[in-house]
Structure 1
Amino acid sequence: MKSLSKCIFIILFSSVLTLESCKEKDSCIISHFTTISYGTSFGECVGYCIKTIAISDATINFQKTAHNDKSTYPDFDCDDSFPGFETLKLEIDIAAFCSMEPVIGCPDCADGGAEWVEISNSTHALRVTFEYNNAPEEFSSFIENLRFYLQRMEASC
């Protein structure tokens, strides 16, 4: 009976370890991503409070939306060409991104705003949200580039 208990314990322990290693692999399966999205939002805001860009292949899409008053601030959407997607993809450290917490700090607390970055493919998405203008150090230059693209799209659309 004692050896049966040991066997059951070993089987259960091995199963837990296997499941945990699968979870880790699944969270970073995103290493083959096809889209980079970035956005900002402010909860206590009038007007276009949410602005996003989605970059994939050779296209960049810009959107801005309001929380309320859609008649004065209707959803806005604009596309443009973006030939630098492959170069931009190389700027992100996938291992560091996968190891980050999904929420860093207190995004949009006291209406301080929030920023987020998401990498995705057709089956998975991984997003990190952080306080506005307080990007994680590992991604500060990458975030600066995304901020630039967002501002450029807003100005040109």
Structure 2
Amino acid sequence: MLTLLLIVSALTIATIQGESITSFEAGTGFSSCVGYCYQSVYINASMVITGKSSKTNLTDYPEIHEAYPFASSQFNELVELVGSIQRWKKVDTPIGCPDCYNQGAEWIYIDTEDQSIYGVQFEANSTIVGFETLVESLRALRQTFIH
């Protein structure tokens, strides 16, 4: 996974069922690969920060981060896809065997104002039951922003 150091001057949040969501992070990782094996997006109500990194060849594949503006309305749509943060917190993780047998792993982390990072890890290209639309939307955002 990528480690991102972020300084956000004005923290914008969206509230669902009394919980204030401040950000999402979604990514993929493949431990047995060459090149940019880890890719992620960090999303808050005003920006998307992408990251790519390599586990083995940092010279040819240096860590890359890029920032893009992001509409708060799009962030609010992601929050709505969560539906219930209480239900999200109850998802057992990991789901399946992430990155076993070279199949890769995916993760989604949701930060809230009260407690940071409620994360779920799952097998790459699978889904999280009850959160399929959220998984698909975050994948689409990764594909849109990571070049």
Secondary structure of 1:32 counterpart: strand
For residues 43-82 of structure 1, what are the structure 2 equivalents within 5 Å? 43-82=31-70
Q: Deviations over 1:72-100 (max 9, x none)?
A: 00001011111011221111031221111
- Report whether the alignment pairs 1:138 with 2:126: no
* Percent identity of equivalent pairs: 29
What does residue 4 of structure 1 align with?
Answer: none
Q: CA offset at residue 140 of structure 1?
A: 1.1
Of structures 1 and 2, the larger Rg is shown by 1
TM-score normalised by L of structure 2: 0.81
In 2: Cα distance, 1:96 partner to 1:114 partner: 22
Where do 5+ consecutive residues of structure 1 fail to align? 1-29
**Helix, strand or coil at the partner of 2:125:** coil
Deviation per CA, 1:98-122: give whole Å up to 9, x if none. 1111211100000100001000146
**TM-score (normalised: structure 1):** 0.76
State the match for 2:9 in structure 1: none
Task: State the one-letter code of the partner of 1:31.
Answer: E
Tell me the CA shift for residue 69 of structure 1. 1.1
Alignment correspondent of 1:87: 77
Partner letter of residue 44 of structure 1? S
CA distance in 1, matches of 2:21, 2:93: 17
**Higher RCO (CA < 8 A, seq sep 6+):** 2
Asked whether the 8 Å contact 2:29–2:106 carries over to 1, the reply is yes
| Paired residues, number | 126
Aligned residues: CA RMSD: 1.5
> Equivalent of 1:106, from 84, 97, 107?
97
Instruction: Quote the offset at 1:137 in angstroms.
Output: 2.2
Which structure is higher in helix share? 1
Structural mapping, 1:112-151, within 5 Å: 112-121=103-112, 123-151=115-143
Runs of at least 5 residues in structure 2 that lack an aligned partner in the other structure: 1-17
